[in-house]
A and B are shown apart, each in its own frame.
Chain A
Amino acid sequence: MSTIIKTKYNRRSFLKVSTAAGGGMVLGFSWLASCTSPTPEQIISMPKEWFDINAFLKIGDNGIVTILSPNPEIGQNVKTAMPMIVAEELDVDWNKVVVEQAGLDTGKYQRQLAGGSQSIRQGWQGLRMAGATARRMLVEAAAKQWSVPMAELRTEAGTIYHDGSGQSIGYGEIASAAAGIQVPEEVELKDPKNFKIIGTDRKNVDGHKIITGQPLFGLDVQREGMLIAMIEHPPAFGQKIKSIDDAAAKAMPGIKDVFTITTYPEGMEKQWSDVNAFNELVVVVGNSTWEVLKAKRALKIEWEADDKLESTADYEASLAKALEKAPEEAARKDGNPEKAFRDAEKIIERTYSAPFLAHNTMEPMNFFAHVTADKAELEGPIQTPEYLRKSLIEVLGLPEEKISIMMTRMGGGFGRRLYGHFAVEAAVISKKVNAPVKLIYTREDDMTQGTYRPAYRVTYRAALDKDNNLTGFHVRGAGVHGSPVFANRYPAGAIDNYLAENHGRDSNISTGAWRAPRSNFIACAEQSFIDEVAEAVGQDPIAFRLSLFDKAMAKPVGENNDYDAERYAGVLKLVRDKSGWGKETPGVYRGVTAYFCHNSYVAQIVDVVMKDNQPKVQKVWCAVDCGIVVNPASALNQIEGGIIDGIGHAMYSAMTFKDGKPEQNNFHNYRLIRHREAPVEIETFFVDNGIDPTGLGEPSLPPIAAAVANALYRATGERVYDQPFIQNKQILG
């Protein structure tokens, strides 16, 4: 069954049909100047004219189609997947599609943001409509030209056919006429079973550029007359600038100026994305990166405390103390948990913790800005361009239409580039020196001025009756800038007496969203605890989890349960069956986990072996229910990446502080997972259910640490409660 969808709902926001002028509109649009360059074959077949059909696509007179990808690309591969969705409904040959990154344009696009694994889920309907509307206009134009009813026409791979008369015409030939057609009031979307592009493997559209080293990233931006800027920030959170001796730095070759900036003016109305720990910075501007870096090192700056200088031990102690007391109000309470625990035959209580983490995108923070008296042009890696512009309006005092923001491909995001203070800094610096500027953070600047994943701590309690029934469940979480607990997630809804409680504490350490915020910690704690409860009641860990889902399906407790218990159980059963759960292999230790976040369901089983007394993840089985999978090859890559990322950070990574100062500042002392520690094999299975797509970039990360923890227990006989599981040791470069 196909879906009929009204276009009105989105019309104003994304349907902009150009008026045909003299047989079509020529846009003066050049591939060569664009972000994504064509293959040599495409250059040969470059069209002479482009016809602007709507904000998402242009059709060349020879049938080549340019599709604009609206959302920022951080490695989640939306730059391939989003245009695939448009191309599907447009019904074109993917080989004739050229993809371009769109800049920020809130008049044309909605939610140009990379975050929460929502690009595909929230873009789905609009992208399909963009393609379907264009297809319908092309068909209408052909019907008019041939004087036949539209219903008699069909399309296939960029050509319109009238089978009755044997006529056919390519999209390129009719595009000029189509550009003048009225936007339809409603369009028909394809039945997913007729998809030809969605659900097929398509290579990364930037793949060739990546493997040949072509400019793509923010750090690659080069402009005529561009200066390089670097910043120096206080070495400790809670410090500020006291005095600066910049005489030596200023005298160095290639240096234009040294000065201080205030990023966000006092009293400014801030966006949620305006998180920065150090608002006053010392800036060095010069001709080249190395010259500026040397001058930065020659700065003599005295710092002074203007707030508490706290250490990791202080955070650990205060979170532990917070967990001793109930908060004034529960986040959720079902039944009578107090009575369940009072009457319990046995209570299991366990506490889990995890440290701060840095994002450590491989491409450090950077941004290009050229600010003049009446306009600002910015280009660089940003996950939240719309919010960045709101901030720039305030900071620069320029109207919205005078600020342009172009998103480059990003060398990783993981949440770090949601917080665009570095782009604002670049703009403030450019304005001050009255020149185009590229601001570059060194790795040390990047790692020691993070918007870190907060440190967390949580205590779980389970009440068991004399027959080993789980009669009560209690979770109390605490974290820096907020609790990690999601009160309405599993096992809420499956237990009659349930209590969830939250504590947060302030800090001058800047924190923010880090790939799968909160879930990235709580999933491991929850799924480790469930494993331990299953063992205590003498049940198989998968059977025990399934019994809770059965309960949540048959007789859900409470009304606000976030998850669909049937889909949740579905992935667990799928991974159980695929992995041959239950069979024992000597020397191989298994652990299981399942989690729901970003609207998707993931279950995983790992095989851990011990090698030279060190655990090694041999194999991972992963089942995913994220609805329709747009690009399976790239979806597998996302799932695999999330798994490796999750294993790595839970096993090895930590950001610690001493008197406010980060104790890690580069990859020699901040341990990240490397080739040798990666799983040997990952096998992923997607549930094929035809449901509209949900999140994919984050959901495979949170649960995996628990599968490893549960396998480690079977390997060593000891449970792990505190991350990182493997404490830091000598790192080899």
Chain B
Amino acid sequence: MAIFNLNINGKKQQVDVAPDTPLLWVLRDHLQMVGTKYGCGIAQCGACTVHLDGTAMRSCSLPVSAVKDMPVTTIEGLSEKGDHPLQLAWIEHDVPQCGYCQAGQIMNAAALLKDNPTPSDSDIDSVMNGNICRCGTYTRIKAAIKTASSKMS
């Protein structure tokens, strides 16, 4: 066990966990932030996507010891009132079915739009290809990303 001082959603958090504990489980088990989801544990489905220093990362495969002082943003901190343009677009397009993968989809899309505010269809396909939606809401996700993109640019 070791003490880690983390900067999560702009707030300092201290946890005492094994250094190899994935950030995912630190968030879920130790900080009671359950918006970041467990899907596969091997960075293959994207349900656990967070931003580490502004870059989309799979928190299931990111040991807490690697986080250091880099700021972490989770779905809970993407916006204060759930009004990030992507979150609003998700509601506008009524994207979710079961909803389980959607936090990861939104976090990945948010990183995409930060780097590339007006992505083409094929940009969206290649960046979002690592995020599985078992319910098959892919066409709505793409439409919502485009709506958010048009509102942000």
Contact = CB atoms under 8 A, between A and B. Distances in A.
A439 to B, nearest CB: 14
Interface residues of A, number: 69
B136 A219 contact: no
Interface stretch (A116-124, A147-155, A359-367): A359-367
B52 interface: no
B39 A443 contact: yes
Interface in A623-656: 633-634, 637-638, 640-645, 648
Interface in A211-229: 211-217, 219-220, 222, 228
Given A219-B37, A360-B134, A675-B124, A681 B139 contact: yes
Given A411-B98, A674-B132, A212 B76 contact: yes
Interface string A679-698: 11110000000000000000
Contacts of B76: 212-213
B98 A637 contact: no
Contacts of A410: 98
Interface string B130-149: 11111111111110000000
Given A412-B100, A641-B135, A644-B136, A213 B94 contact: no
B129 interface: yes
Contacts of B102: 210-211
Given A213-B75, A666-B42, A640 B87 contact: no
Contacts of A440: 38
B29 A207 contact: no
B41 A442 contact: yes
A50 B76 CA distance: 32
A733 B96 contact: no
Contacts of A294: 18
A204 interface: yes
A443 B91 contact: no
A246 B102 CA distance: 38
A213 B96 contact: no
Contacts, number: 195
Q: Chain B at the A interface: mostly helix, strand, loop or mixed?
A: loop
Given A674-B132, A675-B124, A675-B131, A638 B97 contact: yes
Contacts of A733: 42-44, 130
A383 to B, nearest CB: 12
Given A213-B36, A637-B97, A642-B136, 9 more contacts: A76-B97, A208-B91, A214-B35, A216-B99, A217-B37, A291-B18, A411-B99, A645-B134, A733-B130
Q: Chain A at the B interface: mostly helix, strand, loop or mixed?
A: loop
Given A207-B94, A412-B135, A641-B137, A215 B34 contact: yes
A412 B130 CA distance: 19
Interface string B84-107: 000100110010111111110010
Contact of B134 (A228, A289, A290, A361): A361
Contacts of A75: 96-99, 135
21 contacts: A208-B91, A212-B82, A212-B87, A213-B33, A289-B38, A290-B22, A362-B100, A363-B39, A364-B38, A637-B140, A640-B137, A641-B137, A644-B138, A645-B135, A667-B44, A674-B129, A675-B125, A675-B128, A675-B138, A678-B139, A731-B44
A621 to B, nearest CB: 14
A288 B18 CA distance: 11
Given A211-B87, A213-B103, A203 B75 contact: no
Contacts of A679: 139
B128 to A, nearest CB: 4
B125 to A, nearest CB: 4
Contact of A208 (B17, B82, B142): B82
A412 B21 CA distance: 27
Contact of B42 (A77, A201, A667, A674): A667
A201 B94 CA distance: 10
A203 B99 CA distance: 13
Nearest to A697: B97
A732 interface: yes
A74 interface: yes
Contacts of A402: none
Nearest to A670: B44
B74 interface: yes
A672 interface: yes
Contacts of B133: 362
Nearest to A254: B18
Contacts of A414: 134
B140 A290 contact: no
A161 to B, nearest CB: 33
A119 B140 CA distance: 24
B40 interface: yes
Interface in A683-733: 731-733
B34 to A, nearest CB: 4
A531 interface: no
B146 to A, nearest CB: 13
A668 interface: yes
A732 B33 CA distance: 29
Contacts of B75: 211-213
